[in-house]
Structure 1
């Protein structure tokens, strides 16, 4: 049996996203279950695509959502969402969800997300995720989470 090359993704692990500069890029394939009777992606499924991409982005910057929840430190809740649908995705389309942190506050983070087919924007959204305690009340994000998000925001400013 051949030894696993660490530079090659394992075929046994799910495909994840990656960062290109400050933008997180998460690949999605449109399957039959994602479409409605017309053969286009059902509107609510774009939210699922974005949720997967956000979760992957958070994991890659060092935010351990499961660990925080299990330790009783809270969990993220979506407190605001604005979405605009521009063009439909269809069965078997290869899409990329592009996520960018645009603002960080003590208890929340604002993220812009675009669902792309090549260079075409299909859907664009702005999402606010707030860290909340088990009681449902907002709480401060851990310092290292805030610092990771701020690095992504600064990278955008320095890159302009």
Structure 2
């Protein structure tokens, strides 16, 4: 699957990141479908892999910049269920980039079929005092170029 570019408010192009995961037995509920909270886990893993793909480990951000990125708000819509053994693709792309926050859209797909979508607002905060902290310039640059 190939991602389509999106544009930041500053006019830079930011591409989608796509990460795949298989649904395991532990991911499903008694009805045989993926338990609703597990979609959030899949999306979190995709965001972590997205950061890795840009060369940033969350432990590195915390150690070098006292920075952690946390979910501030999430809105999720479920359309169709994922099932045991499905291969899912999680698309992630930034729709808005601020000094200490970003908003992204994530979609969970089975082949080309959208199963759920989420709008995720992330905040950059200081790991020590848990107050908002500006993203370092190298991270902003990587986010704009990725």
2:28 counterpart (35, 38, 52): 35
1:76-122 CA deviation, whole Å, 9 max, x = no partner? 11001110001100101111001111111000111110000011100
Aligned to 1:108: 101
Match for residue 137 of structure 1 among 124, 131, 139 = 131
Q: 1:144 to 1:61 in 2, by over 3 A?
A: same
How large is the Cα RMSD of the aligned pairs?
A: 1.6
Count how many residue pairs are aligned between Structure 1 and Structure 2.
135
Task: Tell me the equivalent position of 1:93.
Answer: 86
- What SS is found at the alignment partner of 1:137? coil
TM-score (norm 2): 0.86
3-state SS in 2 of match to 1:76? strand
Structure 1 residue 62: Cα displacement: 2.6
CA distance in 2, matches of 1:96, 1:56: 13
How many Å apart are 1:72 and its aligned residue?
5.4
Q: Which has the higher contact order (CA 8 A, sep 6+)?
A: 2
Give the superposition deviation at 1:44.
0.2
Of the three residues 64, 68, 84, the one matched with 2:61 is: 68
> Would you say the 8 A contact 1:62–1:145 is kept in 2?
no
| Aligned residue in 1 for 2:145 | 151
Gaps spanning 5+ residues in structure 1: where? 1-17, 153-160
- The answer to whether residue 55 in structure 2 is matched with residue 45 in structure 1 is no
- CA deviations 1:12-55 (Å, max 9, x no partner) are xxxxxx97451111011000000000000000000000000000
2:2 and 2:140 map into 1 onto residues whose CA distance is: 18
Aligned to 2:120: 127
Q: Quick check: which has more Rg, 1 or 2?
A: 1
Larger % of strand: which? 2
